[in-house]
Amino acid sequence: MSKGKVLVVGSNATRIEVQGGGTGATGQYLNETVVPVMAILAAGYDVVLATPDGTRPHIDPVSDAAAHFDGDQAAYEKAKAFYAGDPSMTHVRTLRAVVEEGLGDYAGVFVPGGQGPVVDLMQDGDLGVILRHFHAAAKPTAMLCHGPMAAVAAMPHAREFRAALVAGAPEKAAEWAKDWPYAGYRMTVFSNTEEKVVEDRILHAKLYFNMVDALQAAGGAVETGTVDFDPNVVEDRELITGQNPRSDHPLAARFVAALERARA
């Protein structure tokens, strides 16, 4: 018998704005999606995947490699097969449908990373409704790598906040962040120095804002590790955040433990 349902919120973004005009390819990371989802299922929970438009998340090709599974080719192939064929990954709802059907039966919510959430999820109104529900109910809420940027959606003025960041006006963004439910929470996110590696080696362009700076402007107490790409997980009340792709397993373990505590 299932222990309950966990909502997994995916991104539909395929491009992200870069300075100087134009966009760079982006999406959702394979390992950051399947590693926690497989752990959630193994713990006895059902998974419901939802995205803004109800189609499957776009997997960033950069993440489609054994390197993101510590070089374990078998683990990589298993993850690819899981994402391609498991019903938890192929049956997708819209965020709006999830809201309309009611959120009360969900035990927790998880947002994977990749830069996709920085584009769509952080300013999605339906996700804002979802996150405010889980916050008010103090139900486990996990976000990984760039996933914590989705927490911005819980602001009453998330779109204006993001627009101010893109415009290079962090002070204005901070004004729009008023009444953010996660203000004062300890949290982590993909660090500025980690982001520079992506900008230099993958995007070959600079983003309009860094994730750490954005969450600090919102009022978050952001903590990043001292060594880039080392696992780092921060837990404060119902919110569990992981810093980078290699935080996938430890975040999954902390999230499942929080789900179990909430059942006790």
Inter-residue contact 13 to 19 (CB < 8 Å): no
118 class by beta-carbon count within 10 Å (0-12 exposed, 13-18 middle, 19+ buried): buried
Give the pTM.
0.98
The string of pLDDT tens digits covering residues 199-226 is: 999 999 999 999 999 999 999 999 999 9
Inter-residue contact 236 to 254 (CB < 8 Å): no
| Residue in the structure block whose two tokens are 């993909």 | 190
Please give the chain's pLDDT, 264 residues, in tens.
Answer: 899 999 999 999 999 999 999 999 999 999 999 999 999 999 999 999 999 999 999 999 999 999 999 999 999 999 999 999 999 999 999 999 999 999 999 999 999 999 999 999 999 999 999 999 999 999 999 999 999 999 999 999 999 999 999 999 999 999 999 999 999 999 999 999 999 999 999 999 999 999 999 999 999 999 999 999 999 999 999 999 999 999 999 999 999 999 999 998
Looking at the domain that runs over 5-263, which CATH code has it been given? 3.40.50.880
Question: What was the pLDDT predicted at 22?
Answer: 95
CB atoms within 10 A of CB 206: 15
